[in-house]
Amino acid sequence: MKPEIIITARGHAGTMATLQSEFTAHLLADAPDRAAFLKQHANTVKGVATFGPMTVDGKFMDALPKLEIISNFGVGVDAINLDDAKKRGIIVTNTPDVLNEAVADTALALLLNAVRRFPQSEVYLRGANWASRGPYPLTTDAGGKVLGILGLGRIGEAIAKRAIACNMQIRYHNRRKKDVPYPYDPDPVTLAKNSDVLMVVTPGGPETNKLVNAKVLDALGPQGFLVNIARGSVIDEPVLLRYLQEKRIAGAGLDVFADEPRVPPEFFTLENAVLFPHVGSATVETRKAMGDLQIENLRLHFAGKPVKTRVV
Ligand code: 8YV
């Protein structure tokens, strides 16, 4: 008998196909009545494969009393209430490391695009402005500037390596100082004050909610750039929008937003922001590796073995 699982939302196609062949899988996203769906599978479902931002909290877990494991597609588990899972003895897994390089590439692209305004210069060219209005205005160098990494984990370290190759200097802030060769700042405001570009790489969730607020953006200042490849929730989004509109910071590169996939349309008219639709890990290779790890965790658990990448 195949173990029974719920898939929360339609995710990566290859991963979905394997999940649906290896497990008896029910797709929550297709259910017209969520409560009735959970009730229908309450006594048989032992695993959940999560995709995307749907909240998985104690109420959801209680609706599935046989639930043993929640296997997330993605490194960020902010949509899952970890305390609720822990209390109920439910295992939570994620997909760390396999996405570090792809996400770090995205971070570097946003950094260079925000600072050098490459996308805006392309729009300028495509708008047939070059011949009629002359060269695109000068921008500023990334090299020689200070990159402040807020949340220096494995992705942050991969970003640091790339930024060093661009001749940037690295500083960081974490809750705890790490054994790394980069100067440490004791709080986000000090880091922002000491940085030309502030790179947000923290996990999402209640502990980092609006960690980047007006004080941090004031410290970054009118010459400073902000890049966010973490979660939209880490930044006070309306404040960021206002600071960009009023040019109280120089610019931003954003891969994530507070209420994805909905992005406040005011962002679209900003000429000092570069916006990506959460593509940090969005490559064929990386998404396959993430899916393989998500599946591997379920497979191991249902074979009675320890999972590979446990969060709680
Ligand atoms: C994915 C991510 O876009 O890993 C994460 O936490 O945010 C991204 O890699 C997301 O998980 C896909 O649903």
Whether the per-residue pLDDT at 30 is higher than 90: the answer is no
The ligand 1 atom at the shortest distance from the C-alpha of residue 286 is 9
| Pocket of ligand 1 contains residue 278 by CB under 6 Å | yes
Are 47 and 111 in the same domain?
Answer: no
- Looking at the whole model, is its pTM more than 0.75? yes
The pLDDT tens digits of the residues spanning 78-104 come to: 999 999 999 999 999 999 999 999 999
Are 46 and 132 in the same domain?
Answer: no
Rounded (10°) angle between helices 13-22 and 284-302: 20
- Residue 64 domain boundaries: 4-97+285-302
Are 144 and 192 in the same domain?
Answer: yes
Are 230 and 253 in the same domain?
Answer: yes
Does a structural domain hold residue 307? Answer: no
- Burial (CB < 10 A; 0-12, 13-18, 19+), residue 213, is middle
| Pocket of ligand 1 contains residue 287 by CB under 6 Å | no
CATH number, residue 11: 3.40.50.720
- Position 295 scores a pLDDT of 98
Are 201 and 232 in the same domain?
Answer: yes
Q: Residue 47 CB: number of other CB atoms within 10 A?
A: 25
Does a structural domain hold residue 280? Answer: no
Are 145 and 271 in the same domain?
Answer: yes
Are 33 and 121 in the same domain?
Answer: no
What is the best residue among 278, 284, 311 to mutate for testing ligand 1's pocket, by most ligand atoms within 8 Å of CB? 278
Place of tokens 């899952």: 80
| Pocket of ligand 1 contains residue 51 by CB under 6 Å | yes
Q: What is the DSSP letter of 79?
A: T
Does a structural domain hold residue 218? Answer: yes
Please count the structural domains in the chain. 2
Are 18 and 89 in the same domain?
Answer: yes
User: Considering the chain, what percentage of its residues have pLDDT values greater than 90?
Assistant: 100
Does a structural domain hold residue 309? Answer: no
Does a structural domain hold residue 195? Answer: yes
